[in-house]
Chain A
């Protein structure tokens, strides 16, 4: 379908963009790459009065890598992450997860800020942000605030963003070179929405046991979730076959995936357990 009617503005400063959003009485939306919003408009699932295009905003497209981790500007595109070879070392989980985002053409326009704000339950970027203790910098009429991913995602396509707020940056904490990690997702066709996906990492202590386990899942709930029962089953243990089976069992026990046209909940539960076990096996190989 054709999108519904709306007005369009392309401000040149962040302050101007926020003012435009604030003037929209809750019916203004941000657009940048538009790779999630344009389909929503075409299906008429969204019908904003005003689109505020971030096209002319400077300084939001930078990838910064430092001692405190990785900072991704909101307008960083999937292809920018793919082409930045530093990230393979500085944040391998991010680099791997992003390989699974959508298709070639979409990757040339889709942005991390858009994915975070769109908050699709199956999307990789929200999963990375949540699993890696990411923090979003958010600018609105009330000023600038920083919010943890753990409280940012509130439901399907829902976040804590106010109507006049814009995500400007995602910060992912520093990644130790010795960290063990894995990303696994399953979709029937490459680039499609994942039926289930797992993101995980942990460090090894002096006894070679897992510590600081972080295990996140996408595609199995209203928003990306951390699997705390599975993390608890992994922490303090050597990552053996028995341990992997216990972690996968704990994960499956702790989730209640929805059924839809793509897969019944029981299938998603089994899929998540399998992906988690395979990911853990890969992490020790």
Chain B
């Protein structure tokens, strides 16, 4: 089946089987391998992308369901410079192997965009959907807390 959607601001299309997940389509058909596939059944959060601005698990969505939607992956969140979240992750040593990092950054970006005042408790609650086996979460939470100042409610920036 043909599917067409917007990926990181660009129109894309791909010929996929209906069973192809959005994650596999993005990685294998469209060559954006920043989105990582860990568990493939909605537990680990590594494949988190933004669909119409909302964090979703791209392994739990069919590529054909993304027809006409706006999809943003980790590649879409930074240009030549590190984004504030990426810089905070580096500063706080919030990653080691880096496998889970795209999922954490996309999730945290969606959270802080919608809730720039998110407190530590809220951040921890949201991160409960992402697994990291290296860092132990504390530096990840610290990095996201640190990056909050770069996100502001409309009109306050």
Seen from chain A, the residues whose Cβ lies within 8 Å of a Cβ on chain B are: 1-8, 10, 31, 34-35, 38-39, 41-43, 51, 53, 55, 79, 102-106, 108-109, 189-191
In contact, B45 and A103 (Cβ under 8 angstroms): yes
Tally inter-chain residue pairs, CB-CB below 8 A: 86
Q: Say how far A60's CB is from chain B's closest CB, in angstroms.
A: 16
Hey, which chain A residues are within 8 Å of B61, CB to CB? Answer: 34, 38, 109
Q: Say how far A39's CB is from chain B's closest CB, in angstroms.
A: 4
Say yes or no for B42: interface residue by CB 8 A criterion. yes
Q: How far is the CA of A79 from the CA of B54 in the complex (A)?
A: 10
CB closest residue in chain B, given A53: B65
In contact, A109 and B56 (Cβ under 8 angstroms): yes
Q: How far is the CA of A81 from the CA of B54 in the complex (A)?
A: 15
Q: How far is the CA of A42 from the CA of B60 in the complex (A)?
A: 9
Hey, which chain A residues are within 8 Å of B19, CB to CB? Answer: 2-6, 41
Hey, which chain B residues are within 8 Å of A79, CB to CB? Answer: 54
Q: Say how far B3's CB is from chain A's closest CB, in angstroms.
A: 10
Hey, which chain A residues are within 8 Å of B62, CB to CB? Answer: 8, 31, 34, 38, 51, 53
List B26-49 residues whose CB lies under 8 Å from chain A: 40-42, 45, 48
Q: How far is the CA of A186 from the CA of B61 in the complex (A)?
A: 28
Q: Say how far A118's CB is from chain B's closest CB, in angstroms.
A: 13
Q: Say how far A261's CB is from chain B's closest CB, in angstroms.
A: 16
Say yes or no for B55: interface residue by CB 8 A criterion. yes
In contact, B107 and A104 (Cβ under 8 angstroms): yes
Q: How far is the CA of A41 from the CA of B61 in the complex (A)?
A: 11
CB closest residue in chain A, given B54: A108
Interface stretch of the complex, out of B72-80, B121-129, B140-148: B121-129
Q: Say how far B113's CB is from chain A's closest CB, in angstroms.
A: 13
Say yes or no for B97: interface residue by CB 8 A criterion. no
Q: How far is the CA of A190 from the CA of B124 in the complex (A)?
A: 10
Q: How far is the CA of A191 from the CA of B45 in the complex (A)?
A: 13
Q: List 26 A-B contacts (CB under 8 A).
A: A2-B21, A2-B24, A2-B40, A3-B19, A3-B21, A7-B18, A8-B18, A8-B64, A10-B64, A31-B62, A31-B65, A38-B21, A38-B60, A38-B62, A43-B41, A53-B62, A102-B129, A103-B45, A104-B111, A104-B126, A104-B129, A105-B129, A106-B60, A108-B56, A109-B56, A190-B125
In contact, A38 and B125 (Cβ under 8 angstroms): no
CB closest residue in chain B, given A9: B18
CB closest residue in chain B, given A103: B129
Q: How far is the CA of A31 from the CA of B18 in the complex (A)?
A: 12
Hey, which chain B residues are within 8 Å of A191, CB to CB? Answer: 128-129
Q: Say how far A77's CB is from chain B's closest CB, in angstroms.
A: 9
**With known contacts A2-B19, A7-B18, A8-B62, A105–B55 Cβ distance under 8 A:** yes
Hey, which chain B residues are within 8 Å of A108, CB to CB? Answer: 54-56
* Most A Cβ at <10 Å: residue of B19, B54, B67: B19
Hey, which chain A residues are within 8 Å of B15, CB to CB? Answer: none
In contact, B42 and A35 (Cβ under 8 angstroms): yes
In contact, A51 and B60 (Cβ under 8 angstroms): no
Say yes or no for B17: interface residue by CB 8 A criterion. yes
Say yes or no for B109: interface residue by CB 8 A criterion. no
CB closest residue in chain A, given B42: A39
Q: How far is the CA of A6 from the CA of B19 in the complex (A)?
A: 6
Q: How far is the CA of A269 from the CA of B1 in the complex (A)?
A: 50
Q: How far is the CA of A121 from the CA of B41 in the complex (A)?
A: 19
Q: How far is the CA of A4 from the CA of B18 in the complex (A)?
A: 10
Q: Which listed residue (A1, A2, A3, A105) contacts B57, Cβ 8 A?
A: A105
Hey, which chain B residues are within 8 Å of A104, CB to CB? Answer: 55, 107, 111, 125-126, 128-129
Mark contacts of B126-143 with chain A using CB atoms, 8 A cut-off: 1 yes-contact digit, 0 otherwise.
101100000000000000
* Other A-B pairs beyond A39-B42, A105-B57, 14, CB < 8 Å: A4-B19, A5-B19, A8-B62, A31-B62, A38-B62, A51-B62, A103-B45, A104-B129, A105-B107, A106-B129, A108-B54, A108-B55, A109-B60, A189-B128
Hey, which chain A residues are within 8 Å of B42, CB to CB? Answer: 35, 38-39, 42, 106
